[in-house]
Structure 1
């Protein structure tokens, strides 16, 4: 009887440990979705009791941490390349959680209406070719606006950044000079500019520096009360970022089954041209290290909630919801997760 009691106690204790482990999940990566994830995870804890500790350290760091299996999931605004995923010890999956817009936020004293930009002008600013706000390339786009001869301080990310990747991906599509001289990546060899860490860091430098311009996710411009400009899209329309134009960037785009795709420079006439999915990245096979099945199930439940109920928090925080077809693909990917080879 004593052995039976001890065995029963051991089983109860094991279940308790597994349950406790499942009450906490960790993630790290992109600052782009951090305002949204902060809200989502706070609400998720209220609903389920499961806490999610997400560290806003940049997409590059998030990709590194999931590769090293030090977090349950990573956040990234750009999908990992095939080559980068080969470095991981298991198969990685990507699930989009929102569509966000990267905007040119600026601090130009005396200018009260939104400025207009083209991709070529933005590229030339960050190439160091346009150096003052009254440069003819900017004034030509903004007739009737008195622009000062103030030097431009181009603010960019100093950390490995998915926001940088999205911005550079767009610039490479509209400027051959940018494509050939700088290219695309989470970290770049910048021709000019002042570096800052995270979307919040870039926004902070822009806010405190007259003459500055920086690329940030839309919500960071709004939270910091920074003006931001419209960007001319492929159809020749000057579009100011908002949920509708960001969502339009995904319309007409063929979304592959693994959802890894670029949305920048959309051909859709109503689309904002610097938009992107933001992703969570995790392992298909969840049995690794000392992970329990309860922990794996908790991650699956969280991800499923993020692409269904959690979508209700997107628009209030200036992120577009996932299109229904994309949400369906996301659910299929999440449902493919396994534990020990079996369905989770």
Structure 2
């Protein structure tokens, strides 16, 4: 065999080998999973999942907790996301087994756009009265003049559940007239879809006030200091959120809430947000799902939470979440 023929054969084999490798490697690198749900933690999820994109591509749709739970129950996504733990009647519909775990913490700010109102401080009763429509001018708050425009969620939302749950804890009147839930009949206000929508309403409406994940407080939007159970006026921060979340006790489904936490440093409206995965029926995607969701709980991902105005998980809550992810099977 001539040298030229040997070179041709070797080149052909190498080309075939390279082609085979290129056919296999992208498949490994491009494992794709989908999730949908809460807008509250969307900024954190998008940043965190980018860190594992070279191994698992995660398509997360920020559509609100209500829609996320519905898609999860219907089995149209690999995981759901919600700011309100799944209800027993919803979990009963999931034949593949429910795995629920906290993914990150956060604070819900009472956020406003009023250039001549600096350092707004609200008692719990004032917060309730704003959203009941009893306080409808800035004059009543002694913080500028003009009409107050209330902004709230128009979609089913775990952020709404956490916020109204706290208002119910602040006021028996709120609890009896409006109550708590992912959707409520608002006494007053303008609706926006998602945290993004409410943020847009507040940003574009001088004199507006509403409720948002702290990560959406930027630009013209400021956060009010809210009086806590101990009587202190506290801004929503990582430190005040962590102080509040330390009061939460988780049940066997890793669900838990504290709508008006104790402690001088606690911010009153602080919450966990949860991921919903399946125990079985994940097939060949199971390793990719575990890898992506475990990365959310990694030091690298949780370390990014603070810079995005979320509260990173620590201690027993973090350990319980990691144990839950390990139960995701084929």
TM-score, length basis structure 1: 0.85
Q: Does 1:323 align with 2:309?
A: no
Deviation of the 1:21 alpha carbon: 9.6
Runs of 4+ in 1 over 4 A off after TM superposition: 15-22
Q: 1:103 aligns with which of 96, 109, 112?
A: 109
Q: Which moved more, 1:259-268 or 1:56-65?
A: 259-268
- 2:41 aligns with 33
- 1:233 aligns with 228
Distance 1:184 1:90, change over 3 A: farther
Is residue 49–residue 296 contact of structure 2 (8 Å, CA) maintained in 1? no
- 2:249 aligns with 254
Q: 1:43 aligns with which of 51, 75, 97?
A: 51
- 1:166 aligns with 162
Structure 1 unaligned spans of 5+: 1-11, 140-145, 340-344
Partner SS state of residue 139, structure 2: coil
Is residue 30–residue 55 contact of structure 2 (8 Å, CA) maintained in 1? no
Distance 1:181 1:17, change over 3 A: farther
Partner SS state of residue 338, structure 1: coil
How many angstroms apart in 1 are the aligned matches of 2:105 and 2:123? Answer: 21
Is residue 249–residue 264 contact of structure 1 (8 Å, CA) maintained in 2? no
Is residue 195–residue 216 contact of structure 2 (8 Å, CA) maintained in 1? yes
How many angstroms apart in 1 are the aligned matches of 2:61 and 2:248? Answer: 31
Q: Which moved more, 1:117-126 or 1:29-38?
A: 117-126
- 1:5 aligns with none
- 1:292 aligns with 283
Deviation of the 1:17 alpha carbon: 11
Deviation of the 1:32 alpha carbon: 0.5
- 1:204 aligns with 200
How many angstroms apart in 2 are the aligned matches of 1:42 and 1:133? Answer: 42
Question: What are the equivalent positions in structure 2 for 1:1-344 lying under 5 Å apart?
Answer: 19=27, 23-45=31-53, 48-111=54-117, 113-135=118-140, 138-139=141-142, 146-148=143-145, 150-222=146-218, 224-285=219-280, 287=281, 291-293=282-284, 295-309=285-299, 310-339=301-330
Larger radius of gyration: 2
Distance 1:119 1:83, change over 3 A: farther
Is residue 80–residue 275 contact of structure 2 (8 Å, CA) maintained in 1? yes
Deviation of the 1:18 alpha carbon: 11
Is residue 115–residue 230 contact of structure 1 (8 Å, CA) maintained in 2? yes
How many angstroms apart in 1 are the aligned matches of 2:325 and 2:271? Answer: 20
Deviation of the 1:22 alpha carbon: 6.7
Is residue 315–residue 321 contact of structure 1 (8 Å, CA) maintained in 2? yes
CA RMSD of aligned residues (A): 2.1
How many angstroms apart in 2 are the aligned matches of 1:334 and 1:306? Answer: 10
How many angstroms apart in 1 are the aligned matches of 2:248 and 2:155? Answer: 30
How many angstroms apart in 1 are the aligned matches of 2:26 and 2:322? Answer: 25
How many angstroms apart in 2 are the aligned matches of 1:129 and 1:273? Answer: 21
TM-score, length basis structure 2: 0.88
